[in-house]
Amino acid sequence: MPIHPFEGIVPIIDPTAFVHPDAVVIGDVQIGPESSVWPGAVIRGDVNPIRIGARSNIQDGSILHVSRATPQRPNGIPLLIGDDVIVGHHVNLHACTLQDHSMIGIGAIVLDGAVVEHSAMVGAGSLVAPGKRVTAGELWIGSPAKSLRPLSPEELEGIRATVESYRQLAKRYAQGR
């Protein structure tokens, strides 16, 4: 599997995490227990760190990156992903924060300094503008993304069920090697 150091910093991947051999993980990246990274995903922690919590999944073709230092932000911005987070297929995450139990739909983009709060969902194809805060427990859609409505109990349960489904699927893939 393509795990690459950058400037002497080697990614740290929990032994219970699954990283597909066709994913790429570079530099200052930590992937937590029972998380999964799927084919074609690129996780590049070169100019700032990327942290992925427990049981989160980064689905096929997603790109995760960070922000460099600038005069306005002398430390740049890392990318922080909490526990039990779903990052759908072909998502672009750049220097943002995804709190626990959040979900980013297929093809969405979340930009620098944005925060997706606990149990919030960004709809497929949406764009979360830099610095925007997606409110806990809400569905945000559009470009730029705006609050549509609170998530239903069934939708919140769907996030939990999807996290568990990916956790189990990753175990099957790992055993198949």
- Please tell me the predicted confidence (pLDDT) of residue 2: 87
- Please tell me the predicted confidence (pLDDT) of residue 125: 98
Does residue 66 carry a pLDDT above 70?
Answer: yes
CA distance 8 to 173: 30
State pTM to two decimals: 0.97
Does residue 142 carry a pLDDT above 90?
Answer: yes
- Please tell me the predicted confidence (pLDDT) of residue 4: 96
Q: What kind of fold does domain 3-175 have according to CATH? A: UDP N-Acetylglucosamine Acyltransferase; domain 1 (2.160.10)
- Please tell me the predicted confidence (pLDDT) of residue 177: 58
CA distance 130 to 101: 21
What's the rounded mean pLDDT across residues 133-162? 98
Residue holding tokens 């175990």?
171
Nearest of 133, 137, 90, 140 to residue 111 by alpha carbon: 133
- What lies within 8 Å, CB to CB, of 161 at 6+ separation is none
Residue holding tokens 């990753």?
170
Give residue-wise pLDDT tens across range 78-90: 999 999 999 999 9
What is the separation of C-alpha 62 from the centre of its chain, rounded to a whole number of angstroms? Answer: 8
The domains of the chain are located at 3-175
